């Protein structure tokens, strides 16, 4: 198949060219997929997209007009794709349901530990010759209650790590994972998790039902000084509400690997530009906020697995017209 890759970086090209071995003709493009850039997919049978590409009805209609028959997502999430429109237009969709849950789980716990022991601040102090410990006081994770929202593969691995640290782990999930139950994770109602957990970590896909799950109302139920970690999707958190909660002290620590308006920021070098997003820049002013740029997935293992599954999805669709990794259409 002729495949146009959008939003590509050098590391994407390296991993996909290694795995592809000439099976498909791959064309790598730097721009995000949008209504304005969709024309770049001309003469392509498929497009390969990432988390910040726009694959709404307008884009899909243009892709269909160009003859594109398949959307290959090189990620697990599919909230940026209008699946109903794709089905109506006869365009297949495939995703990578699991690439390295360990990568995301380990990054999640790294954010927790870094925020708690303020490693990021200590690193900068030491480089300036400041060896004072004032303001760097942390707490023992042992005995703390951690609430996981979502108990899939990433949530289950995160639970294992936290249990190893001596935490009590509770979880909320409409479809509880039996593996977590076997580990000793207690499944509770969402309000109970909000009221009880010292640390709350998000491990669920973004859906219309859980948009801004962490809202002003949810924050009002939480412990003072709660730690919130999000390595899932940015729009699970109402950013303005969490800023107010940071100002009041209700949120004591915030670790983000995703941001609801990250599309114009993440994966790009903007170090010589003025960031126009005032909400994001406000987050950067808090000493108890730690942000990484959608980095949690970024391990060599994950990139190899993403490339292998994506190429397999393309090959399966080319040969059978179907893809086992098609997301469910609601």
Pick the catalytic residue from 24, 198, 233, 250: 233
3-state secondary structure at position 53: coil
Within 13 Å and on the Cβ side, how many CA atoms surround 174? Answer: 4
**Residue 215 and residue 191 in contact, taking contact as beta carbons nearer than 8 Å:** no
95, 198, 203, 294: the active-site residue: 294
* Chain centre to alpha carbon of residue 163: 23
- Catalytic: 88? no
Q: Distance (Å, rounded) from C-alpha 134 to C-alpha 180? A: 39
- The continuous run of DSSP H or E covering 92 comes out as strand 92-94
Torsion angles phi and psi, residue 291, rounded to 5: -125, 130
Residue tagged 């005995």 (tokens):
143
233 is catalytic: yes
Catalytic residue flag (residue 294): yes
Catalytic residue among 24, 107, 203, 262: 262
Query: Can you tell me the distance from the alpha carbon of 164 to that of 158, in angstroms, rounded to the nearest whole number?
Result: 10
What is the spatial distance between Cα 270 and Cα 93, in angstroms, rounded to a whole number? 32
Q: Which residue has the tokens 């939480």?
A: 222
Closest to 313 in 3D by CA, of 129, 118, 73: 73
Selection from 24, 7, 98, 22 nearest residue 316 by Cα: 24
| Cα–Cα separations (whole angstroms), residue 1 to 46, 95, 203, 271 | 7, 17, 34, 37
152, 137 contact by CB (below 8 A): no
Partners of 26 in the β-ladder: 3
Task: For the beta carbon of residue 304, count every other beta carbon within 10 angstroms.
Answer: 15
Q: Name the residues annotated as catalytic.
A: 233, 262, 294
């Amino acid at each position: 198949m002729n495949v146009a890759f959008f939003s590509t970086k050098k590391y994407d090209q390296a991993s996909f060219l290694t795995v592809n071995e000439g099976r498909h003709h791959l064309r790598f493009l730097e721009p995000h997929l949008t209504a304005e850039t969709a024309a770049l997919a001309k003469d392509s049978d498929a497009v390969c997209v990432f988390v910040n590409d726009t694959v709404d009805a307008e884009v899909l209609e243009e892709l269909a007009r160009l003859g594109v028959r398949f959307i290959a997502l090189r990620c697990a999430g599919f909230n940026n794709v209008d699946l109903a429109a794709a089905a109506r237009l006869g365009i297949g969709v495939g995703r990578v349901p699991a690439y390295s849950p360990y990568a995301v789980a380990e990054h999640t716990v790294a954010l927790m530990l870094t925020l708690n022991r303020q490693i990021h601040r200590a690193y900068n102090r030491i480089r300036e010759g400041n060896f004072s410990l004032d303001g760097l006081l942390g707490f023992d994770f042992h005995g703390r209650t951690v609430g996981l929202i979502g108990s899939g593969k990433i949530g289950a691995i995160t639970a294992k790590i936290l249990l190893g640290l001596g935490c009590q782990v509770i979880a909320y999930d409409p479809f509880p994972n039996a593996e977590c139950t076997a580990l000793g994770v207690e499944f509770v109602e969402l309000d109970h998790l909000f009221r009880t957990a010292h640390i709350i970590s998000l491990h669920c896909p973004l859906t219309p039902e859980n948009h801004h799950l962490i809202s002003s109302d949810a924050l009002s139920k939480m412990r003072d000084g709660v730690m919130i970690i999000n390595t899932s999707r940015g729009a699970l958190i109402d950013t303005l509400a969490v800023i107010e909660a940071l100002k009041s002290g209700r949120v004591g620590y915030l670790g983000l690997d995703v941001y609801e308006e990250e599309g114009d920021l993440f994966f790009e070098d903007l170090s010589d530009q003025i960031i126009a997003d005032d909400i994001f820049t406000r987050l950067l002013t808090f000493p108890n906020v730690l942000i990484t740029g959608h980095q949690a997935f970024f391990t060599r293992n994950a990139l190899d697995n993403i490339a292998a599954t994506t190429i397999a999805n393309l090959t399966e669709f080319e040969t059978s017209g179907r893809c086992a990794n098609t997301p469910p259409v609601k």
